[in-house]
Amino acid sequence: MRIEIVRGDITTQEVDAVVNAANSSLLGGGGVDGAIHRAAGPSLLAECRTLGGCPTGEARITGGYDLPARHVIHTVGPVWRGGDHDEASLLASCYTSSMALAREHGCEVVAFPAISCGVYGYPLAAAAEASVGAVRLSGEKGPIECPAIVRWVLFDRACFEAWQTALTAR
């Protein structure tokens, strides 16, 4: 499995699946969630309405509609509450659940945003470390190498630098 990081807007990614940092209603929000819904069109919200929400740390998959991506994987990151409310394992679980869905649906290239690093307030260095660790682990666990490429699409420079550090840390 190859891990890549780029700066940019995840809604323009031509990949098998983009991951959405959703809230537990799955009915849309601000940040990357708002951008994905705007770019995918109203059919995405219509499909999300049938799902009945999603607990923190889990993931659900839908079509990509007007996005260049075939699928959207919606996952609900933890709100940062100081670090001793299971945030790290919930964040890792977002990635593990998203990777499992991507594999089930034969997605070879998957793009992630920096889950929980916007309004949910997760400190960037800690988020980057937990995120990269979780993806590496679930990449190793797979029976086949799928997804083959995991790409973080990082909107802001501070996130990009945090991910760069985490990826070169070992």
155 near ligand ADP (CB under 6 A):
yes
Tokens of 62: 């839908």
Residues 6+ apart with CB under 8 A from 46: none
Tokens of 167: 């990826």
List the one residue out of 139, 154, 67, 137 whose CA is nearest residue 103. 139
Q: Which of 9, 16, 33, 84 is catalytic?
A: 33
77 near ligand ADP (CB under 6 A):
yes
153 near ligand ADP (CB under 6 A):
yes
Rank residues 124 and 146 by Cβ distance to ligand ADP and give the closer one.
124
156 in active site: no
- Cis amide linkage into residue 147, ω under 30° from 0: yes
Region from 44-52, 62-70, 138-146, 155-163 binding ligand ADP, contact rule CB under 6 A: 155-163
For residue 19, what are the CA distances in angstroms to 10, 42, 98, 102?
9, 18, 7, 10
Answer for which of 44, 54, 109, 117 binds ligand ADP (CB under 6 A) is 117
Per CB under 6 A, which of residues 32..51 are in contact with ligand ADP?
32-33, 35
Rank residues 81 and 141 by Cβ distance to ligand ADP and give the closer one.
81
Q: How far apart are CA 170 and CA 53, in angstroms?
A: 37
133 near ligand ADP (CB under 6 A):
no
Residues that bind ligand ADP in the complex, under the rule CB under 6 A: 9-11, 21, 31-33, 35, 77, 113-120, 153, 155-156, 159
